[in-house]
Structure 1
C-alpha cells in the first residue's frame, strides 16, 4: 500500500491514513516524522486485522501475563495467606525466569518449561517446584479460559517432579528443653522479651496444633472459656480450637495490654526461631513440626476420634491428617492396640 504524502500546514505537517473505510490523522513537526507515523500506523492496523481474523497472534509476553494475573487474581480474588505468597512470586518473577519472562506466551513450549523445571530443581526442593508449577499453570489457564489468549496450557504438557515423602518429624522433650534454653525462657514465667514470645509460641503450638501464622494472628478477643476462635485460617474457614489446661496456663502468663497475644511480626518471629535453632545445632527442626507432635499427642493422650481431630486441626482431607500429621512410634501403636 502506497504511503500518503504529508501536507504542510503552517509550521507543522499533517498526514491522513485511510484503512478499511476509516481515516486516521496525525500532526508532526517534520514531513519525515509524518511519514514514519503513517508507515507504523498502517503496519499496526494490518496486524490488528490479522489478529481479529485469527491469522496472527497478538504480542503478549510471559512477563505481561504475570502482571495481569497478579492484578486480576492475586490482588482481588486470593485469600490473605495466598495473596502474600503470590506477591512473592510476582516480585521475583523475572529473577526466576530470566529470558523466558520476555518470551511471548504463544511461543513458550513444553521444552522451555521442562528446561526451567530442571534448572529450578537444582535451586529448591521438589515441594517448592511443584507449588510453583501449579501457580504458573493456573496463570496459563487464566490466559486460556478468562483472557481467551491461548488454545492450550503448555504447563499441562510437562512431567511434574515426584512428590517427596511426607515429613514425619516428632519433637523430643530434650529438644524442647534445648530450644527454651536457647531462647532464654523458663517454663511457667511471664514472657517479656521477643525471644520469650518465640518460646511461648513454640509451647502453645505443641498444646494446640495451631499453625505459626494462626498463633501470631491470635487476638485477646478471640480467647474464650475453654477454646480459642480463629476467624481466618489457611483453608479459608474459621474454626474453634479447644484449650488444654496447659494451654490455658500459657495464656494466663501473657500480661501485656496489646491487642495480639504475641506482639511480634511474623518475620521477626521466624528469624528469631531460625537463628536460635541453628545456634544449638537443630537445623532439621521446623516450627511446623509442632503440628505433627501436637496431633500425635492428641490421639495418644486424649484418644480423639479422627473426625473430631479434623475439626480441631482444620483438615478437610482426612487422609492428609492421618497419613501426614499423625506420626505414632511403635510404642504409641502398641499402647493404642492394647488400650
Structure 2
C-alpha cells in the first residue's frame, strides 16, 4: 500500500508497505511524493521492495540525529531558541549516549539518562527533553530512513510527575532592588521588559514575540496571535504599559527584539546583583496576576488579561484574598 502524508516539517513523506516491510522517502512537493509512491508500489509488486534497514542509507548516531533535528525541525518551532540551547547542552553533556548508533539504543539508556538528570534538573525540564528526544527519533525513522528494531526507545520511558506550582510573590523591597540593579544591565530593553511583565501579566515568550503592527496605543491594547495555549488574545494595557511602549524605539518588527535565552541569562545576573533569592522571571507574571485579583477584577476579567485557558486554573489566586474575605464576613456577621 502506498501513502503520501504531510509531515510537521512541511515535507511530504511517501511510504510503501508490504508484508511488514516498508520504504519511505520525503519530498518538498506532494506531486513528487505521489509519483514516487506509484513507482515504488509498482516495484513492490515486482518483488523489488527493500526495507529502510537494508537500503543503502548509513545508520546515524544519536548526535547526528539531534544536530539535524535542531537545524531542520527545532528551527521552525516558536520555542526554537530554548530548545536549540537545550539540545546543544545534551550533546555536550551526554557524549557517550549521543555517540551511539540509533539502532543500538535501548529504553534502559534513557531510563538511566532520566534518573541521572532528575538529580540536577526539574521534572518539567526532564519531561521536555525526553519529549524532543522521542520526536527526533520518530522523525529520523519517518523522514531520514533510520531503523529502530525495537521501536522508539524513548517512548516506553516513564515520565516523572510534574509539579510546577509556585506561590512566590515579590517581597518588600525586591521590585525596587531589581530596578535599582538594572542600570548595570547590558541591554537597555531589560527594564521595559520587566515593567511590561508586571503591568500586563504576559508570559516571557509573549512579550518577546510582541510586534508593533499588533500594538494599538490609542485603544490601549496589544493583540497576541500566538500564545502558549494556542489561542490568540487581545491584552488590555494599563497607562503604565502604554507609557513604556510609547517610549520604546521602533527600529525592529518586534517591540522587544531579544532572545529568550539572553533574557534568561540577563535576569539571573540581575537577580544576583539585587541580592534576591529564588525568583524567576515567570514569578513576575504570578505577581501581576495576583495583583489583578487583589485589585477587585473578576476571575473572568483576569482570565481575559492573563490568557489562562480554564477559570479553574485561576482559583489558586483566590487564596490571596483570604484576609479581605474574613474582614467582609466579620462586617456582615449577624449570628
Name the TM-score, length of structure 2 as normaliser: 0.67
User: Hey, what does 1:179 align to over in structure 2?
Assistant: 178
- CA distance in structure 1 between the partners assigned to 2:71 and 2:265 by the alignment: 30
SS at match of 1:155: coil
SS at match of 2:281: coil
User: Hey, what does 1:22 align to over in structure 2?
Assistant: none
Q: How does 1:75-154 map to 2 (within 5 A)?
A: 75=75, 78-79=76-77, 81-143=78-140, 149-150=147-148, 151-154=150-153
- Asked if 1:61 corresponds to 2:55, the answer is no
2:302 to 309, 314, 320: 309
What is the number of equivalent residue pairs in this alignment?
Answer: 278
Check 1:319–1:108 CA distance in 2 against 1; reply closer, same or farther (3 A cut). Answer: farther
Q: 1:101 Cα deviation (Å)?
A: 1.5
- CA distance in structure 2 between the partners assigned to 1:264 and 1:156 by the alignment: 35
SS at match of 1:154: coil
User: Hey, what does 1:73 align to over in structure 2?
Assistant: 73
Name the TM-score, length of structure 1 as normaliser: 0.67
CA contact (8 A) 1:210 1:291 kept: yes
* Structure 2: gaps of 5 or more residues: 1-47
CA contact (8 A) 1:208 1:243 kept: yes
Q: 1:86 Cα deviation (Å)?
A: 3.0
Q: How does 1:136-285 map to 2 (within 5 A)?
A: 136-143=133-140, 149-150=147-148, 151-184=150-183, 197-224=189-216, 225-252=219-246, 254=247, 256=249, 258-259=251-252, 260-262=254-256, 269-285=263-279
Q: 1:204 Cα deviation (Å)?
A: 2.0
Check 1:321–1:97 CA distance in 2 against 1; reply closer, same or farther (3 A cut). Answer: farther
SS at match of 2:223: strand
User: Hey, what does 2:33 align to over in structure 1?
Assistant: none
Q: How does 1:327-338 map to 2 (within 5 A)?
A: 328=320, 330-331=322-323, 334=326
Bigger radius of gyration = 1
CA contact (8 A) 1:300 1:336 kept: no
CA contact (8 A) 1:226 1:242 kept: yes
- CA distance in structure 1 between the partners assigned to 2:146 and 2:325 by the alignment: 54
CA contact (8 A) 2:199 2:288 kept: yes
CA contact (8 A) 1:144 1:152 kept: no
Check 1:271–1:140 CA distance in 2 against 1; reply closer, same or farther (3 A cut). Answer: closer
Check 1:217–1:142 CA distance in 2 against 1; reply closer, same or farther (3 A cut). Answer: closer
* Structure 1: gaps of 5 or more residues: 1-48, 186-192
Q: Looking at both structures, which has the greater relative contact order when contacts are Cα pairs under 8 Å and sequence separation is at least 6?
A: 2
Alignment deviations for residues 210-243 of structure 1 (CA, whole Å, 9 cap, x no partner): 1233334434443211211224434455321001
SS at match of 2:320: coil
Check 1:182–1:63 CA distance in 2 against 1; reply closer, same or farther (3 A cut). Answer: closer
Q: 1:267 Cα deviation (Å)?
A: 5.3
RMSD: 3.7
Check 1:67–1:217 CA distance in 2 against 1; reply closer, same or farther (3 A cut). Answer: closer
Alignment deviations for residues 19-69 of structure 1 (CA, whole Å, 9 cap, x no partner): xxxxxxxxxxxxxxxxxxxxxxxxxxxxxx997497899734222332443
- CA distance in structure 1 between the partners assigned to 2:328 and 2:146 by the alignment: 56
CA contact (8 A) 1:216 1:266 kept: yes
